[in-house]
Structure 1
Amino acid sequence: MTVTGDGEDRRRGRNETEEERADRMWGELIQEVRVAQTGVQILFGFLLTVVFTPVYRSLGDTDHAIYIVTVVMGACATGALIGPVSLHRLVSGRLVKPQAVRWASRLTFVGLVLLLCTMTAALLLVLRVATHDDYVPWLVAAVVLWYVLCWFALPLWTRRRYTSR
């Protein structure tokens, strides 16, 4: 068992210094962010082109509102998921890597939640335009449930189930 800087006892699976742990965690975080960044940037790029299509002009007020909310959330998700890169660049060499990793991790989590919201709204808009059926909200809800299960519930269950106390 090791004692952290705030006096709290905590088990570690590796024998590494705080700086070594921060370096390892930073590398892992950046790999994770690369996957999410690519997805959100592609989605955001496609969303930006919709307004220039003839179909956009024929959308109703509700669909216009859904589109605007989707684009804004996509922009926010993009910002949050690119944020860790800027954070690292601006604090690099300042001996604050453990703190930078914590903040980058928080930004990444916020970015994932915003990505979930963006994908939900985009799916809702596409299915509303494609089908005009009453089952669309139920289908979107099922997909959101799947995302929540894969992105949050399973990881949290795994964390609780397999983390030693």
Structure 2
Amino acid sequence: MTVETPHQRLTRNYGEMLQEIRVAQTGVQFLLAFLLALAFTPRFPEITEFQRTVYVVALLLGAAATALLIAPAPFHRLVFRRRLKSHLVTATGWFTLCGLGFLVLSLGASMLLILDVVLGTRQAVWLTMGTVTWFLVWWFVVPMVSRRHGRRHPSQSPAGRPQSGHPDAGQPDAR
């Protein structure tokens, strides 16, 4: 069995994070493109003041999500070869979590806008709350519950560290 050096572990963790971000980046880019184009549609001038406000909020949240989900690339470029890999991995984790938070809010605001146009405000609010809750459950609650239960997993020692024989035994988690 080959033992990873701390630097190799950080490099692997960063690579795994970039793979995760690629999934979210595609979604946030499509959402932002939709929102940017929406203002140039023929019916846009007819929307209500409430809908216009929701649109602006969705657009700003989408832009914030996009910035955060793309941030690891320029961050990496600016700290490249400065021996800051650990900091890069930590920052990338926070960029991703915050970006996903802004993404779910932008999705919620976008849903509210569209559902308000299609169904009216009352139904739009209820359906949007349900949709945002759905995303929050699968994106944040389920992983946190799994994380909590994972600490008591049989392959874990009482201290919460993997038992020897596991590839990550004795290595602190860099994420």
Q: What CA deviation, in whole Å up to 9, does each residue of 1:54-89 have, x standing for no partner? A: 111000111001001111111111000000011111
Which contiguous aligned blocks of 4+ residues in structure 1 show a shift greater than 4 angstroms? none
CA distance in 2, matches of 1:133, 1:103: 39
Q: Please list every run of 5 or more consecutive structure 2 residues that lacks an aligned counterpart in the other structure.
A: 161-175
- The alignment's TM-score, normalised by the length of structure 2, stands at 0.83
What does residue 76 of structure 2 align with?
A: 88
RMSD of the alignment, in Å?
1.3
C-alpha contact 1:18 1:98 (8 A) present in aligned 2:
no
What does residue 35 of structure 2 align with?
A: 47
The alignment-based identity, stated in percent, is 38
- The alignment's TM-score, normalised by the length of structure 1, stands at 0.88
Q: How many residues align?
A: 152
CA distance in 1, matches of 2:44, 2:104: 23
CA distance in 1, matches of 2:126, 2:84: 46
Q: Which protein, 1 or 2, shows the higher relative CO under an 8 Å CA cutoff with sep ≥ 6?
A: 2
Q: Please list every run of 5 or more consecutive structure 1 residues that lacks an aligned counterpart in the other structure.
A: 1-13
- What does 1:7-156 correspond to in 2, within 5 Å? 15-132=3-120, 134-156=122-144
C-alpha contact 2:115 2:123 (8 A) present in aligned 1:
no
Query: 1:16 Cα shift?
Result: 2.6
CA distance in 1, matches of 2:58, 2:14: 30
Query: 1:133 Cα shift?
Result: 5.2
